Amino acid sequence: MKNKNRTRAILGHLRDLLLVVIIGDVVTIYFSPDFSIFLKHLHWNSFYSLIIGGFLWKGNQLVGYLISKYVDDQKEPVKALRWNLTGLFIYTSLAIIVVNYFWWVLFIGEDISFLFTNGLSIFIIEFVVTIVIVSILLSISFFKSWREAAVNEERLKKESLAYQYQALSNQVNPHFLFNSLNTLSTLVYKDQNQAVHFIKELSEVYRYVLEHKDSEVVDLSTELDFVKNYVYLQKIRHGQSLDINVEVQNSSGQYVIPMSIQMLIENAIKHNIVSIENPLSIQISLNTEYIIIKNNLQRKTTVKDSAGIGLDNLKKRYEFISDKEFMTEENEKEFIVKIPIIKSKSA
């Protein structure tokens, strides 16, 4: 497959170079005073067209490729177009000057003053032809990227709505409600004070979900307060079988997608054995760029992967809102998720 792709790429470059020779010869015919003179120097004209056309076409392609490494044309199509046009003008001007200097002065032997007399018209023709062709291609690429960005934004809105609904339903689904009420009924007989505390924590969980289900991001400290409420409910239910340790000291000025940490905790509990014999340990820590959620791996064999939202949806949402990568790692002992920290609330 790699060899086929490489061969296809080489053939594509050769096709492009042949095309620039044809374009160069057509332009030369148009400006040539006598067709017989053009035929006499056809081989030199074609060679010159190959060099200047190759540098202008392939060089501008390279400039566009380098710009795409730093500016995402789907996320920022206007910015990408502006940078590409700037790169086009600068590179085209420099390439025309350098190639013509080497051709006319060093290779043909003309005096350097030729570049400012007869050569000036050549510069202008080459510059205008290149700018027109590449600008058309950039415009087509811009509108294509703009359309794709609009489609992706609409898709994200739909996925966001689905995720928000899923996040809400995860808390109010019959299983969660049944488990919470079952735990509460046990506490009422064993420890009424703890039962009152349980009801308070449960109400805080519901309040947070309802308040932030439409938010794009939320302050990390607020999310961690919610996580503590959620962890309390899970600890009451699982007791010593579940150990959740939050090692986050300073979280000011940092944001996350609402309920993302909670979802990962729930995911770990859902997919792993939680028992006295095999306690589940979940650690939440923070470094300069990521929130790290790590749990020991002891997968259940009876749980099927969800067909809906899950990690994939969360990853897509973070990739859209953050430049950093949403990462998952797994080895024989641990499953690790790294959530990018969002530095700005307007991200």
What distance in Å separates the CA atoms of residue 241 and residue 124, rounded to the nearest whole number?
78
**pLDDT given for residue 308 in this prediction:** 40
Residue 299 has what DSSP assignment?
B
pLDDT of residue 295: 94
Dihedral sign, Cα of residue 131, residue 133, residue 135, residue 137: negative
Quote the pLDDT of residue 76: 74
pLDDT of 1 reads 56
Are 73 and 144 in contact by the 8 Å Cβ rule? The answer is no
Which parts of the chain sit beneath pLDDT 70?
1-4, 13, 20, 24-25, 27-41, 73-75, 157-179, 189, 303-310, 344-347
The pLDDT score that the predictor gives to residue 296 is: 93
- 316-347 exposure pattern, b = at least 16 Cβ within 10 A, e = fewer: bbbeebbeeebeeeeeeeebebbbbbbeeeee
CA-based nearest residue to 257, from 335, 309, 195 = 309
DSSP 145-171: HHHHHHHHHHHHHHHHHHHHHHHHHHH
The confidence score (pLDDT) of residue 293 equals 94
Q: What pLDDT sits at residue 294?
A: 94
Domains in the chain: ranges and CATH: 2-155 (no CATH), 173-340 (3.30.565)
- Pairs from 5-8 (Cβ < 8 Å, separation ≥ 24): none
